Amino acid sequence: MSPAPNRIGIDPALMTQLISEIKRLERSWPDADAQIGRALTSIGTSMSGPGTLRDVAFQISQHIPDLQRRLDLIVSTQKIGLDKGVVWADETLWASNSPASGAAAAKTVADQLRKAVKDVADRRGTLSKETLDLLEKHQHDPYFAVALAKEIPPKELKALLERFYLAHRGSLKDDWAEPSSSSVMDRLARALSVTLGTASRGVGEMKLPKAYIDELIATDDDPMSGRMVDELLRYGTFDDAFLREVANKVFDNAQKPASEQQDIIKFGPGLAAALANNARVAQDFFTDPARKPLSFLMRDNFWGSGNGELGRAIEAATTRFRDHGQPPGSSRGYKSALIASWAAHFWSDPRAQANLPDTKQNAARVFSAYMGDVHRAAISDFPEPMGVNPQPDSDPNLPGKQPYGAMFDGGAVKNVMTWASKDLQALKIAVEGHGEYSTKVLDAQGKAIRDAVNAEFAEWRSTHPDASEEEQAAHRQKLLADNMNSNPGKLFNAQANALGKSLHLIVDAGNLTDINEADQKDQRSQAFKDGVSRTLKLVLTPAGDWAVAGYEYLEGPVSDSIKHTEGKAARSQGEETLRESQRLFKDLTANVMMRYGLFGDESAKGSAHPHASENYAERSGGDFLAKGQIIPRDQMTWQQRIAYDEWLKSSPAAAVFREVDRAVWEGFQLDVPPYPEAEE
């Protein structure tokens, strides 16, 4: 087992103050020591030997280099976080004890890399494991990293990496789309990128030369150079100012006419990956008022197979920081919401969807993080403009003050979800995100009803101290029914209705994807050959919980005689999917009510609780509860399903659940036929 990390915590401000005080006292202690010596001599005595003030000063001053080393290293660590006060770091990652030892290790690694390149060219050997191990050992050490960056200048570093790639892979295939074919190159590229990121965060005298960025992004008329820079940026966590300068220069160059562009790298997946690794810079760059780069990057910039890295950068910029306690100008959470709103708008553009096919899951995760805003947009009567929700509390459906929210257009959200749902995992992410949000909303309202019932019951008990247990149970059940059919219950029903509408939007988007694909198959059906015997259909199924786990691929034989009918089949399946989603959402709602005791006490006569009835008694064949919660439908026996449906519709629970049931049903209704036929 590897040793436990040596964690240290330092407050950079206090450490800086301590070092300054020691240096100041170091200069004054000799004078103080001399004054004390003269005073002692005047009275005929002296103080000598170890322990004098001069000796103490000398011993303390000997610790200044070590304190400065720790301060430099901790400041380098602080640059990749938002820590205030004490900054914690793993000291074992700092392999060098001094700039000199870091420079010596860097010289050793540089010499070994140059020798390995020569050996590869002469077919006499390859990069050794020992060299890689040494590089990886020092990759987080700023003394080593800055020294290596100076030892191997950018132009040589790019050429060196290119030679290794060509030697190990034969050709530079598209590694953004395909798994890497060389673990040696993977390790080398990652270690060099991480090391360069560490070097960019150097402090004090440990800094990269001023011209380093310009030399790094220059392609030098070498078409492979840009790819090497992609690799060098891909894994590291770079200093804010360093990465922002790279992004600005590359973006600004891309905006110039082709005849005026400099010979530097394009805005590629490596730079996008670097932004994903530093969400602060991604935020500041995406919200730059002078550049406004997001539209160009999402709709016009050519990405190729590396487009998923931009999706990661957008996801990081929108979800990493959430807050509502800072003014808009200084709030990371405000920028997060602003970028989420812009990104959703651009994702709804067919150009962005065609340009960023590998970002569907990123879009789904952004929507999942802002599900309260998606929910509001889904039930809104008008399209919202792009921007940040101006309300003091962005989501009154949830208790407490929520983070800044994003403004979404419901139509654009559905457009993006229809596109994103072509990726089955993306639909799963969105549906599960809605499930988590719905549970929080209904939990809050269910708790409010329970608390109201408890308060009213306590007040009634104080005026009816002699009431029997049966009378108490009957009155509590009456209070439950009254609350569910009065304002508290109406609010619960309204929430269930609205949540049903927003879930309808998400699931319906998935169905539309399926139907659109099926209609395309209809249009291409003449190309089917006799040998085609199967086709894939996407089916939405429950998977052990209220939330749909996602699409499953089911295969079935397709008759040669089937022509132009897949669209109709998908349309029928889509309508059944919505009905199934409606049933699942009702189950979620009933479970929330069960969790907060809104069906009453199982031991009370006349209670709506299932265990109060013989048909659904505990441990009977019709008992559909487990640990006080309703068992998921797909895990129920046929007897439990019959009992569950009967309990909701024909038992005392119906009086409590009837309006909730209606609210959910209405939330899933559409004003127009849901799936119109494809045009001929």
Backbone phi, psi, residue 406, to 5°: -100, 145
The secondary structure of 211-279 as a DSSP string is THHHHHHB-TT-TTHHHHHHHHHHS----HHHHHHHHHHHHHHHTS-GGG--SB--S-HHHHHHHHH-H
Among 320, 318, 439, 327, CA closest to 392: 327
**Distance from C-alpha of 160 to C-alpha of 303, rounded to nearest angstrom:** 25
Full-model pTM: 0.74
Instruction: Give the pLDDT score at 138.
Output: 92
Instruction: Give the pLDDT score at 679.
Output: 44
Domain extents for the chain?
7-93, 97-210, 464-526+534-667
- Report the alpha-carbon angle 356-359-365, nearest 5: 150
Q: Is the dihedral of CA 291, 292, 295, 301 positive or negative?
A: positive
Among 309, 389, 391, 314, CA closest to 346: 314
Query: Are the CB atoms for 590 and 648 separated by under 8 Å?
Result: yes
- Report the alpha-carbon angle 368-440-364, nearest 5: 5
Instruction: Give the pLDDT score at 548.
Output: 29
Residue 233 vs residues 339, 426, 486, 667: alpha-carbon distances, Å: 23, 27, 60, 48
Strand partners, 630: 625
Q: In which residue are the tokens 């553009």 written?
A: 349
Query: Are the CB atoms for 413 and 505 separated by under 8 Å?
Result: yes
Share of the chain above pLDDT 70, in %: 70
Rounded to the nearest angstrom, the gap between the alpha carbon of residue 598 and the centroid of all alpha carbons in its chain is 35
Rounded to the nearest angstrom, the gap between the alpha carbon of residue 422 and the centroid of all alpha carbons in its chain is 20
**Distance from C-alpha of 407 to C-alpha of 650, rounded to nearest angstrom:** 43
Query: Are the CB atoms for 144 and 102 separated by under 8 Å?
Result: yes
Q: In which residue are the tokens 């008990």 written?
A: 461
Backbone phi, psi, residue 599, to 5°: -100, 5
Backbone phi, psi, residue 473, to 5°: -65, -40
Instruction: Give the pLDDT score at 541.
Output: 24
Among 529, 530, 532, 526, CA closest to 563: 526
**Distance from C-alpha of 649 to C-alpha of 659, rounded to nearest angstrom:** 11
Show the low-confidence residues of the chain (pLDDT under 50). 1-4, 50, 171-181, 519-568, 671-680
**Distance from C-alpha of 349 to C-alpha of 653, rounded to nearest angstrom:** 47
- The three state secondary structure string of 158-223 is HHHHHHHHHHHHCCCCCCCCCCCCCHHHHHHHHHHHHHHHHHHCCCCCCCCCCCHHHHHHECCCCC
- Report the alpha-carbon angle 647-648-652, nearest 5: 70
Structural tokens at position 309: 């890295």
Query: Are the CB atoms for 163 and 157 separated by under 8 Å?
Result: no
Sequence-distant (6+) residues with CB within 8 A of 645 are none
Query: Are the CB atoms for 249 and 287 separated by under 8 Å?
Result: no
Query: Are the CB atoms for 579 and 572 separated by under 8 Å?
Result: no
Query: Are the CB atoms for 230 and 268 separated by under 8 Å?
Result: yes
Q: What is the pLDDT of residues 585-607, one digit of tens each?
A: 778 778 778 877 888 877 766 67
Instruction: Give the pLDDT score at 487.
Output: 75
Q: In which residue are the tokens 């894939």 written?
A: 536
- Report the alpha-carbon angle 528-534-535, nearest 5: 80
Rounded to the nearest angstrom, the gap between the alpha carbon of residue 481 and the centroid of all alpha carbons in its chain is 42
Instruction: Give the pLDDT score at 444.
Output: 82
Residue 492 vs residues 49, 398, 666: alpha-carbon distances, Å: 83, 13, 14
